[in-house]
Amino acid sequence: MKTIFDETSRVELIERISKLSSEHKAQWGKMTVGQMIAHMNIWNEWVLGKNDLPHQQSFLGKLIGKWMLKKDTKDATPMAKGMPAGKEFTINEVNDNIDKLKEQWVHLIQEYEDYSEWYFMHDFYGKMTREQIGIFAYKHTDHHLRQFNV
């Protein structure tokens, strides 16, 4: 199964990111390519510990988060379309500087090479192991690249 901690998987994701342009349109959802990249940058900064977004599990997450985490990381099945982003990760403004956003995203993807945490507290899933983080970070990135057909 692919993981963001594997160099080959990171290279594949970076190559796909490099193909994105402002001309790409979403195959599903409401985000523009700029909003999606900004979303991914904020999300990756959160996982990498670079911002102060919440790390407390939501009420719904406490009810079904562990079950969903196992379901979402048990195999290579891509993430489903239409999953909610969470209010902290919803990007409303339009950012047209796609090249700068892509550069930031690539840098964040590369930082997973040195990721040293053994667990992460996700706001929905709850406590995630390093292995689960790697699988989910890959799937989340793949999900949004597929959203824009790259």
Total tally of structural domains belonging to the chain: 1
Residue 127 has pLDDT above 80, yes or no: yes
76 belongs to a structural domain: yes
pLDDT value at position 74? Answer: 94
Alpha-carbon dihedral of residues 6, 146, 97, 39, nearest 10 degrees? -70
> What residues make up the domain containing 56?
7-147
How far, in Å, are 36, 52, 54, 84, 91 from residue 88 at the CA level?
Answer: 13, 10, 8, 11, 8
Is the pLDDT score of 7 beyond 90?
yes
Structure confidence by residue, pLDDT tens digits, 29-76: 989 999 999 999 999 999 999 987 767 888 988 999 999 999 999 999
Mean pLDDT of the chain: 91
Q: Are the CB atoms for 29 and 91 separated by under 8 Å?
A: no
* Tokens encoding 109: 């993807």
Output 120 or 15, whichever has higher pLDDT: 15
Residue 89, exposed/middle/buried by CB under 10 A (0-12, 13-18, 19+)? middle
Q: CA torsion sign, 40 to 46 to 51 to 57?
A: positive
Classify the C-alpha dihedral 109-139-99-11 as positive or negative. positive
Q: In this predicted model, what pLDDT tens digit does every residue of 99-108 receive, in sequence order?
A: 999 999 999 9
What per-residue confidence (pLDDT) applies to 82? Answer: 78
pLDDT of residue 37: 96
Residue 85 lies in a domain: yes
Residue 90 lies in a domain: yes
The predicted pLDDT at position 88 comes to 75
What single DSSP character describes residue 116? -
pLDDT for 51: 86
Domain for residue 123, yes or no? yes
User: Using an 8 Å Cβ cutoff, are 137 and 2 in contact?
Assistant: no
Q: State residue 89's pLDDT score.
A: 78
Residue 1 lies in a domain: no
Does residue 25 lie in a domain region?
yes
Q: Is the pLDDT of residue 84 over 80?
A: no
Residue 2 lies in a domain: no
